[in-house]
Structure 1
């Protein structure tokens, strides 16, 4: 008779993404960023207890596997020089063999109390001076390379740290300088921030650096609220059985994301539509060109997600409030939601109504 017992799963069970009720705006913004990480991340603002953190953690379960160089702290891509650490590049130049493994795209949580050294990494000055080597201890940005960096309550994070995160997210590189010694490594990640507007807003220049801005609110429909409570209770009672019940839709969405990422480069956005997107941005007095770029990218990602080869006007209508609402100049006397302002201007320029 065998005395062996089944090994328990070591990972904490994650609530399935496809089981999340409502909050369509937040779910769409997250999915589009996974399809095209160059959109530039998403800022999720909303009431407490609206499932912001649950939804972000559920997203990780859907992410595809990627190839990385084994034992490399930066998750270096074995083929793309832009996503390689300096050490991996040197090994390739010297014709040294690389051990390559497949791993799930990871999500890194950035705690509110994190120091700059913890985020960016540290250089051991003593070792560098005495032994003549660049002794670098990687930080959270290194771990997040080619993955997701999640900052809960980002509006409570020190402004200096937010600047560091956004600079790395925009450039794709993190540079650490100490006592004349400089080390750079790739830091391409999807930056996701969440927060409660009652606890303070981000500065406009920082908000502008997030590709998209999703708003979430407390569900008002009593029947929908009951459904959410029942789903959560079922999951807490038996996570394994609950996840099994959602395996088919989870697998389907996982395949849909993978397929969309592969065909993204083939999606066409008509020139006339691009001109009208820029016209909307200009008439809304959106500073800079980030709004134009992100709207173009998001519309293409949505078309890819819908298995279409051409971007439609409806695709742009769907994504443009998410891409522009946080880039509008705040008018304290304006009572209308900024997303509705964007849609009003869109309808006028495109001659479109739902």
Structure 2
């Protein structure tokens, strides 16, 4: 490591290590799967206050390996993938120009609640465009988030129009800004992570449906675990460097697993019969549209890759299907049954399997072993 790199690492804000986070397996797994395959469509994390939502997301961004980006490019353009680079860089590439490349940490961009559309999407300087004939574009947060993570805390309090803009960009991978007949577009492919507290209002069903996965997190009830979390936090605050050192090998191991999973993902196969059964579950649950089917397939493949395999099993599907479908069910105001349990029951019926002891029925959130700890 060069002295500059060491200085940069030291100057970076110290972040609580991802592998040290106790519990919340559902949230951790959903985040990892979206990093392996960003096309899953992001995660909506709903849960109590003070359950470590922001800490976990920052920890994940810090854990991710560095990525190659074009030097001094406002869009974090990929040096060779046209889908992840701005038009200017593509033009340079076509002209055979030399493109300087640097390694950069994956960005985690926080979207403030009071952000305006201009701040999110970017603005066009009309005066400069008209007087100098150039497309003067001031990039926004979507440009900064390209190839990174865009985190929206309290997404249920965000203006619906802005949520629409975010979800459109996340789905298409591009952001288009139009003003006075001038149009500029740039890549905006990011993992969209929204978090919220159900007490502060629900998200509109059509917006909720656009998030790939939905993780529910609850305050840890076991006193021993609560003590462990408190002690860990105190230890980290007292001596962050020593605490990071303790988890260094686990962090590196998980980072390597994610890199290998990303490489293995294209060769993962899901049997036709299993795909039919996934769609059968969606149909039985009366899920609107086909997003549920697509996301369940993608998430099962990402989990298989994460575990170093190339054939999706029934158990892989069981571990992700609740995360992919629970927020797509039509809510019956008179029904008190947990939506997760509904999904598990439909899965068990269609796949002809027994519900395990640690299913949603017992604790309102499927126990998912990520194999991280």
What TM-score do you get using the length of structure 2 for normalisation? 0.92
Query: 1:282 deviation in Å?
Result: 0.5
Structure 2 match to 1:319 = 320
1:290-309 correspondence to structure 2 within 5 Å: 290-309=291-310
Q: Identify the residue that residue 69 of structure 2 maps to in structure 1.
A: 68
SS in 1 for 2:10: coil
Q: How does 1:83-232 map to 2 (within 5 A)?
A: 83-232=84-233
Q: 1:105 Cα deviation (Å)?
A: 1.3
Q: Secondary structure at the match of 1:336?
A: coil
What SS is found at the alignment partner of 1:165? helix
Q: Are the aligned partners of 2:108 and 2:145 in contact in 1 as well (CA < 8 Å)?
A: yes
TM-score normalised by L of structure 1 = 0.97
Question: Does residue 1:240 correspond to 2:254, yes or no?
Answer: no
What is the Cα deviation at residue 9 of structure 1? Answer: 2.4
* Alpha-carbon distance between aligned partners in 2 of 1:245 and 1:82, rounded to the nearest angstrom: 39
Using the TM superposition, give the Cα deviation of residue 298 of structure 1 relative to its aligned residue in structure 2, in angstroms: 0.3
Give the whole-Å Cα distance in 1 for the aligned partners of 2:136 and 2:12: 32
- Secondary structure at 2:63 match in 1: coil
2: distance between equivalents of 1:275 and 1:70? 46
Instruction: Tell me the equivalent position of 1:3.
Output: none
Paired residue for 2:277? Answer: 276
CA distance in 2, matches of 1:102, 1:20: 27
Q: Encode CA deviations 1:138-157: one digit per residue, 9 max, x unaligned.
A: 00000101111000111111
Cα distance in 1, alignment partners of residues 95 and 305 from structure 2: 39
Distance 1:48 1:93 in 2: 50
What is the match of residue 369 of structure 2?
Answer: none
Aligned pair 1:41/2:42, yes or no?
A: yes
Query: 2:363 is matched with which residue?
Result: none
Equivalent pairs counted in the alignment come to 349
Deviation per CA, 1:205-239: give whole Å up to 9, x if none: 00000000000001111111111111111111111
Deviation (angstroms), 1:103: 1.3
SS in 2 for 1:318: helix
Unaligned stretches of 5+ in structure 1? 1-5
**Cα distance in 1 for residues equivalent to 2:58 and 2:335:** 35
Equivalent residue of 1:68, what SS? strand
Q: CA deviation at 1:333?
A: 1.0
SS at match of 1:176: strand
Alignment-derived partner of residue 285 in structure 1? 286
Deviation at 1:101, TM superposition (A): 1.5
Structure 2 residue runs of 5 or longer lacking an equivalent are 1-5, 357-373
Offset of residue 77 of structure 1: 1.1
2:16 pairs with 1:20: no
Aligned residue in 2 for 1:81? 82
SS of equivalent to 1:64: coil
Question: Distance between the aligned counterparts of 2:155 and 2:73, measured in 1?
Answer: 29
State the superposition RMSD in angstroms: 1.1
Q: C-alpha displacement at 1:96, in angstroms?
A: 1.3
Distance of 1:28 and 1:251 partners within structure 2: 17
How many angstroms apart in 2 are the aligned matches of 1:66 and 1:16? 19
Runs of 4+ in 1 over 4 A off after TM superposition: none
Once residues 61 and 147 of structure 1 are traced to their aligned partners in structure 2, the CA distance between those partners, rounded to angstroms, is: 11
Alpha-carbon distance in 1 for matches of 2:261, 2:65: 11
